[in-house]
Amino acid sequence: MRTALILAPALALLAAACTTSPERQAEYAASQAAKVPAATPAGEPVDCLQTNRIRNSNVHNDSVIDFETTDGHIYRNTLPQSCPGLGFERRFAYKTTIGQLCSVDTITVLQSGVRGPTCGLGTFQPVELAE
């Protein structure tokens, strides 16, 4: 009986901590958007990038990754769904067998060396970053 009395308040506090007000959600979304550098589309989106042409990736937040290719072009990938932890960890892994990273592929967030959430990619939009 005593265990139930201790657990009930603890569970209520945990439930309250997990709920986020609309104001906090909007504040978080604004802070995430502020981390993404302004960019102008520089052509039609493509479905795939050759993995041997990817020089660098720059994670801006839970939804936006810029891929830099060996020829200096930047391709912005805006994920269709937010990927929890991606913006914090800023690192991910992917696996492909065809030498291309495509919009139908997934990435997995790396969290302190372990696998985190797996999330789908969007199309790769060529962009020119604002100065």
pLDDT confidence of residue 45: 98
Question: Residue 14: helix, strand or coil by DSSP?
Answer: helix
pTM exceeding the 0.85 threshold for the entire prediction: no
Task: Please name the residue that has the structure tokens 């308040």.
Answer: 9
Q: What is the pLDDT along the chain (131 residues), one digit of tens a residue?
A: 444 444 444 434 334 444 455 665 555 555 665 679 999 999 999 999 999 999 999 999 999 999 999 999 999 999 999 999 999 999 999 999 899 999 999 999 999 878 999 999 999 999 999 97
C-alpha separations of 107 from 14, 25, 26 in Å: 30, 24, 26
Which tokens in the block code for residue 18? 């997990």
Q: Are 60 and 35 in contact (CB under 8 A)?
A: yes
Task: For the chain, give every domain's residue range.
Answer: 38-129
